[in-house]
Structure 1
Amino acid sequence: MEKAVLQLEALSCPSCMQKIEAAVKSVNGVDKNSIKVLFNSSKVKIDFDAAVTSIEDIQQAIENVGYPVLKTKVKAS
């Protein structure tokens, strides 16, 4: 498993968090229990299996629901 932190544009409402969480959950290979959407810092923290999905796929899922990803950071756990 790899750990990733994605920096998003400022989140403006709590329902944004639910949309982002649902988008990330829809990506195969993401550990559904690891998803944390941090409203105040506009970050998403997740664990994912790099053999199943890529950080680009996760980033695309978030951008597809309308939230630009500014930066991603991945480190092997």
Structure 2
Amino acid sequence: MQRVEKLERNGNDISKKESVEFEKEALPMISDTDKIVMKYGKPHKAVMIGIREFYEEIEWEQIPEPRYSLLKKEMLF
């Protein structure tokens, strides 16, 4: 989180506004061995807990380019 001061000009008036910007954290990349499935139009990583398989939503930015293009093709069919 970072505080930012901005000057705004409205005609002859200049005002100072403070805002808070959040830095985007680097997301861990998905490995080649991880199972990725599409659920509700979004990518999910399969996670095994005990003997059950659960699905954790992931961001598109976490998927390596070759696997990303394969998932996009799956969505078209």
TM-score for both structures, normalised by structure 2: 0.26
Normalized per residue, the structure richer in helix is 1
Normalized per residue, the structure richer in strand is 2
Higher relative contact order (CA 8 A, sep 6+): 1
TM-score for both structures, normalised by structure 1: 0.26
